[in-house]
Chains A and B, each alone.
Chain A
């Protein structure tokens, strides 16, 4: 399956600041696009439940919303710091960094 686009939003947190990024994988450096595809593959992203926040009543944690568009359709997952699987941490960290860089430009 071909990942075409990934939309990322992070809200909440102690500072209450929103960051977001809409990425077309074609526009990314090959290396980065490959990493993202691999991380999503590794997670079986399409199989993840849409709602993964098992405790939205956890003060100050971030809420992450990730939408992945592939040649087969799109899938959105909402998760939080405590509920995000360990395997998702690297993806979240990468998307955080990319989202912040965009704001800077």
Chain B
């Protein structure tokens, strides 16, 4: 992919970092691509994380999207249909993939200060019109891939629309990329269901952020608009009420549980990764609505920090409960309303937090500010 110039091995990363931050646009671009290349060669993530995402945004423009058209074949990525900065095409699917990956970039960049999937400005590639009658979308480790649904069937028999139609599906796929670069959750059993849930959570947040919707106003549906009018159902999953998204003679009933007592043990679907994700999904919904306001601000922040810094490849639901509780304490203070909301959310899905620290004090209007004041000695110590 990248060409390797000898300069990679000569100029120390800290000097490149300076150039990337302070140089002319041309210098910045060169320095950044050099840094990225040498990062990949030497596997030094640290040097890159040292300079701010802001430097990347300025220099490489940050958001860089390419949408490809597979023209109903299965070869990836296909032929280029729209590149960053180009105007809308006549193909609505291409435009949805372009806009949707842009909105996803915006949430991660503006809210979580993350420059793209890898945190280093990785280009967002999407392929649309993948195969014929392909009612699915997936992340292949490097890019997003979208099918057109049941376009090969008569209208009266179609169950699925094109998969780019739902913004949260696009956010879902890109978040698989983020997870791949961060927690690296194994795609099987509980770690796999957590991987899925992270994608649903941030997919839904992409949509909510785009609509500037408060937690209580959001539909908390995954894939709303994806099912045709031939199907009795509103979406593929519901974070608000897992198991209620559809109930249809052809598709069957939404199998998602919203509580550990209904956990589904199965070998199929990598151990039910798209089924049991309903449990952590619902916990997030409870926490976000408990806190009110915009879900991406507090609940989303807690989840993002947990995904980035705390979860590991083998983490299970209980780990996620404990670690989000820990993250909430670090971000907003021990015993803060945010931390209490996290505790409540997990308890309601049958995963009470354990080993998470002190019992929260009675609600006293604490939170971030109080924790901060306590830290500098301006508020009484915790009871």
- Give me the interface of A with B, judged by CB distance under 8 Å: 11-18, 55-63, 81-82, 84, 86, 89, 93, 96-97, 100, 103-104
Contact = CB atoms under 8 A, between A and B. Distances in A.
Contacts of A103: 250
B51 to A, nearest CB: 30
B36 interface: no
Interface stretch (B129-137, B317-325, B352-360): B129-137
Given A89-B131, A104-B250, A18 B138 contact: no
Interface in B185-206: 186-188, 195-196, 199
Contact of A61 (B132, B136, B250): B136
* Interface of A (DSSP majority class): loop
Interface stretch (B213-221, B270-278, B361-369): B270-278
A14 B269 contact: no
Interface string B143-155: 0010000001100
B74 interface: yes
Interface string B328-339: 000000000000
Interface residues of B, number: 42
Interface string B253-282: 001000000000000111011110000000
A14 B273 contact: no
B269 A59 contact: no
Contact of B139 (A59, A63, A97): A59
Interface in B151-197: 152-153, 157, 159, 163, 169, 172-173, 176, 186-188, 195-196
Contacts of B74: 81, 84, 86, 89
12 contacts: A11-B268, A12-B269, A12-B274, A15-B223, A56-B187, A58-B187, A59-B138, A60-B138, A60-B176, A63-B269, A89-B74, A96-B133
Given A60-B173, A81-B145, 16 more contacts: A14-B136, A14-B163, A14-B172, A14-B236, A15-B223, A15-B236, A16-B275, A17-B252, A59-B139, A61-B138, A63-B270, A81-B74, A86-B74, A93-B131, A93-B132, A100-B250
B169 A14 contact: yes
Contacts of B141: 55, 57-58
Nearest to B256: A16
A13 B136 contact: yes
A14 B173 CA distance: 9
Given A58-B139, A104-B250, A93 B133 contact: yes
B251 interface: yes
A73 B172 CA distance: 42
Nearest to B267: A11
Contact of A86 (B75, B132, B159, B172): B75
B140 interface: yes
Contacts of A56: 187-188, 270
A12 B270 contact: yes
A60 to B, nearest CB: 4
B269 A18 contact: yes
B176 A59 contact: yes
Contacts of B153: 97
B269 A81 contact: no
